[in-house]
Amino acid sequence: MERDSIQYCIDLALKKKNVLDQSIFKYITRAALASIYICFILIVCLKLAEIFRLNESPYVAIVYPLVFATALIMIIYGGGELFTSNTMYFTFSTLAHKTSRLDLLKNWLTCYAGNIIGAIVFAFLFYLTGIPKEFPSDHFLTGVVEHKIHASFLQLFFKGLLCNWLVCLACFLPTRLKEDFSKMTIIFLLVFAFFFSGYEHSIANLAVFTLSSIMPHDLTFTFGDLLHNLVPVTFGNIIGGSVGVGMAYYYLNTGKTTKTKSLKRIS
């Protein structure tokens, strides 16, 4: 049923592989753009959340994820490279023997590095605007960071798993649609679902920690706190995207009764 979508993901993975093989700098730039787009939206989320927080509005928990849902739309339509969605794309292509495990690992590591670079670049540029100084030390993002560094390893792992399951579905399901508006709607709703539910996205967390470090903050966090969050969340994201979507849908479309026909379509 989902063979065309799987083929689309495989073709996209091959395009990503070609870009990386031809120029690692261009690929890293695309990966940097993805986290920069996330940072752009996070700032909007933060400023809106501050307004609602200062007015003691209960709707702050709804406004924040509603706005953030536009980040993935910007990345997909803006040609950014996001580590979390690539966990799904390269699982499909590797299972179909179109890319190797080395290609998969090379992509994931390069993309993650590019996403880190993008978050740092945006934080530096944003710091130069002087806007961070306008925030109080107890701004909304401080509470978000505190929650992220005090959760347990297992909690963070499973939050990461569930998060990227939804994020990869937000990339996979729209491939079955033709209209851009319909695609954007599904992306928007599924990203809202992960954010509103309180799950953990490794690249979004990179942006949160990086931006928090340049703003006034009561909470002090260390590099160890950053790793405490990112390590389990990243591994959870990998499982959620590669197993929850990639392996699951590949298995469902290459069963015993349709194995030969399915593999021909996927190949």
How many other β-carbons are positioned within 10 Å of the β-carbon of residue 97?
10
Contact 30, 81 (CB under 8 A): yes
User: How much is the CA Rg of the chain, to the nearest whole Å?
Assistant: 19
Amino acid at 169: L
Phi-psi region of 164 (alpha: psi -120 to 50; beta: other; left: phi over 0): alpha
Is the pLDDT at 29 greater than 80, yes or no?
Answer: yes
What tokens appear for 210 in the block? 């990086």
From CA 30, how far away is CA 82, in angstroms rounded? Answer: 9
Residue 260 — very low, low, confident or very high, per pLDDT cuts 50/70/90?
very low
CB of 110 closer than 8 Å to CB of 24: yes
Distance CA 19, CA 110 (A): 12
What local confidence, expressed as pLDDT, does residue 217 receive?
80
pLDDT tens for each residue of 34-50: 999 999 999 998 888 88
**CA dist., res. 241 & res. 262, Å (int):** 21
Angle at 173 between CA 167 and CA 176, to 5 degrees: 155
**Which residues neighbour 220 within 8 Å (Cβ) at sequence distance 6 or greater?**
none
- Check if the beta carbon of residue 157 is closer than 8 Å to that of residue 71: no
**Most confident of the following: 65-69, 70-74, 263-267:** 70-74
Which uninterrupted H or E stretch holds 245?
A: none
User: Out of 47-51, 99-103, 122-126, 236-240, which region has the weakest mean confidence (pLDDT)?
Assistant: 47-51
Q: How confident is the model at residue 25 (pLDDT cuts 50, 70, 90)?
A: very high
Mean pLDDT over each residue of the chain, to the nearest integer: 91
120 vs 134: which has the higher pLDDT: 120
Q: Is the pLDDT of residue 113 over 60?
A: yes
Three-state SS across 154-184? HHHHHHHHHHHHHHHHHHHHHHHCCCHHHHH
Residue 21 neighbours by CB distance under 10 Å: 11
Read off the pLDDT of residues 137-149 as tens digits, 9 standing for 90 and up.
887 788 889 999 9
Angle between helices 101-129 and 24-54 (to 10 degrees): 50
Q: Is the pLDDT of residue 262 over 50?
A: no
Give the residue extent of every domain in the chain: 3-266
Which phi-psi region, left, alpha or beta, contains residue 97 (left: φ > 0; alpha: ψ -120 to 50)?
left
Q: What contacts 184, CB < 8 A, 6 or more positions away?
A: 73, 174
CATH annotation of 3-266? 1.20.1080.10
The model carries a pTM of 0.91
pLDDT at 138: 80
**Confidence tier at 52 by pLDDT (50, 70, 90):** confident
> What is the band of 256 on the pLDDT scale with cuts at 50, 70, 90?
low
